[in-house]
Structure 1
Amino acid sequence: MPTSDLLGQNGEQVRRLDHDRYLTCLFTPAPRRAALFALYAFNIEVAKTREVVSQPLLGQIRLQWWRDAIGEIYDARPRRHEVLDELAPAVAAHQLSRSHFETVIEARERDLEDEPPAVLADLERYAADTAGPLLRLHLEVLGIRDGAAHEAAVKIGTAWALVGLMRAIPFHARQKRLYLPEDIVAAAGVERGLLFEMKPHEGLQRAVAQVADAAASRLAEARALRRGVPRAAVPALLSARLADGYLRRLRRADHNVFAALVQEPPPLRQADLVRGAVLGRY
């Protein structure tokens, strides 16, 4: 039987386009995976908005479509869409919080702006709002609605998004876009001309190192909460281990985001996830 038949359309989309999160979903009991695949397929749809529209107004229209679609799920009249067809029953079955979906959509509106964040705190806020709510929804699918696990989820989500943004610098550079904070860019001596010509340089590496340090700090803060996090929450938080792997590769490459080492996933990431799940350690 083809993989797509086993996973369903949403699962196949997440497997192809968000493979790291797909791997973490596999540690959730099988009956709940369809809900997670729908959740992360929703994220793919809103996250790609900037890349699929030709002007900001069209992006705003697309995000408003998703905002309305989420609202209609909670009004018990969901519209037809391959993602919504599975997301709507997931919302009902697991009583997923509407505010988390709305936070993600609102955060994605910032992608339509060309100005980089002013300071690191602004970048961390964007990272927290794009990835944190997804992990909180993941926890809700597992039946965990509050407590230290949710606090850890926001910190891990922030770290995960920061790492992803650093690895995506070459992709954004081709579009003349920059997510590095302006204050770090100035202090580190990032040369935008070189960056947009896809050329590594020491200023860029210094800037990336600062953001990577911030990501590592958020992971450390999340792990300081371990005593209050139930073991049942660990599958939702395993992306912390993946973030560690990418941070190690960044350090080995001296924070050169153009290095193949940085762009390739860690070869033993699946084994590391298994180890984390068995030990109950994110």
Structure 2
Amino acid sequence: MFLICRNFDYENFLCTLLLPNDIRTSAFAIRAFNIETARVQDSVSDPRIGQMRLKFWEETIDNIYNGHVPKQPVASELYRAIKRHTLSKRHLKRLILARSNHFSTSFLSLDEMESYAEESTSPVYYMLLEALGIKNIHADHAASHLGKAQGLTNMVRSVPHCAERRLAPPLPQDVMMEKGVSQEEIIRGSRSDNTRDVIFTVAARASQHLEKARSIKTNLPEPAFRIFLPGLPVGQYLEKLRLLHFDVFDAKLQRRNSLLPLALYWNRFRMKF
């Protein structure tokens, strides 16, 4: 679990290291499961094969809750996490269903993109709150907004990767049509003002949700702050993108922030995200 998270989700890996000892292993299991379902789309060229792999995970979750654990490392660790913290099955199923329903990276509208961002990201935070035993409507509200912010930001960050593989960018068609930008332009790495306007529109929505999540912090129980630490790298990326005038293809955005571990530690101490 440790290696999967470090190799494929480095920022969340760093955040997970700063969680309390009694839930850290379970958090890695939850993150690893999310990575496994998220990577299905990138690892297959045939959508039918991808759906079969997602079906495997759906059946695996059913089997785990029935006490039958497949001999698969992520499934085994997830089983222990579920038993230790009584995690809700519905959150795991939502992660799978989100990927199954949107196997194409194309979204008709920004609202549809936002909905996918929440369905594919917020359940992770709900389960981490469950693992900590936090039942708080404000924490759930913050988790929903942070999930939307992080999900939207992740899709913006994936645009250069999609262009490199000549895949349709995960951007809303309504916004692209409004700004007069085609998918082919994005795939070619267009850095035009119109392309930047598309990126700005999505990034602005992500920023709104991040600020909303942060505005709830005064109502959050103290342990919840560690769970929401991923809001820091999300905010850092969005700010860097703004300073680069929303040029998503700028190489500076691809560089790893060597000071992030220190910033995360300092923010955990200050109870900020």
TM interval, shorter chain, is over 0.9
Decide whether the 8 Å contact of 2:17 with 2:24 is kept in 1.
Answer: yes
- Aligned-residue offset at 1:249: 1.0
Alignment equivalent of 1:260, drawn from 234, 251, 262: 251
Q: 1:205 aligns to what?
A: 196
> TM-score, normalized by length of structure 2?
0.95
Q: 2:121 aligns to what?
A: 131
Query: For structure 1, which runs of at least 5 residues remain unmatched after alignment?
Result: 1-9
Structure-1 separation of matches of 2:57 and 2:96: 8
Alignment equivalent of 1:65, drawn from 47, 50, 56: 56
- Match of 2:87, SS state, is coil
Q: 1:4 aligns to what?
A: none
The 5 Å alignment of 1:25-36 reads: 25-36=16-27
The 5 Å alignment of 1:166-177 reads: 166-173=156-163, 174-177=165-168
* CA deviation profile, 1:240-265 (whole Å, cap 9, x unmatched): 11111000110111111111121223
> TM-score, normalized by length of structure 1?
0.92
The answer to whether 1:107 aligns with 2:94 is no
- Match of 2:223, SS state, is helix
Identity of aligned residues (%): 29
The 5 Å alignment of 1:95-244 reads: 95-113=86-104, 116-173=106-163, 174-244=165-235
Decide whether the 8 Å contact of 1:124 with 1:158 is kept in 2.
Answer: yes
Q: 2:85 aligns to what?
A: 94
Query: For structure 2, which runs of at least 5 residues remain unmatched after alignment?
Result: none
- Aligned-residue offset at 1:111: 4.1
* CA deviation profile, 1:110-131 (whole Å, cap 9, x unmatched): 44225x2111110000000011
Q: Segments of 4+ in structure 1 off by > 3 A?
A: none
Decide whether the 8 Å contact of 1:246 with 1:266 is kept in 2.
Answer: no
Structure-1 separation of matches of 2:67 and 2:27: 20
Decide whether the 8 Å contact of 2:169 with 2:186 is kept in 1.
Answer: no
The answer to whether 1:78 aligns with 2:63 is no
Decide whether the 8 Å contact of 1:257 with 1:263 is kept in 2.
Answer: no
RMSD: 1.4
Which is further off, 58-67 or 170-179?
Answer: 170-179
- For residue 144 of structure 1, what is the amino acid of its counterpart? I
- Match of 1:127, SS state, is helix
- Aligned-residue offset at 1:30: 2.3
Decide whether the 8 Å contact of 1:117 with 1:180 is kept in 2.
Answer: yes
Structure-2 separation of matches of 1:60 and 1:239: 29
The 5 Å alignment of 1:263-274 reads: 263-274=254-265
Structure-2 separation of matches of 1:265 and 1:161: 19
Structure-1 separation of matches of 2:41 and 2:17: 29
Structure-2 separation of matches of 1:203 and 1:56: 31
- For residue 13 of structure 1, what is the amino acid of its counterpart? I
Decide whether the 8 Å contact of 2:114 with 2:152 is kept in 1.
Answer: yes
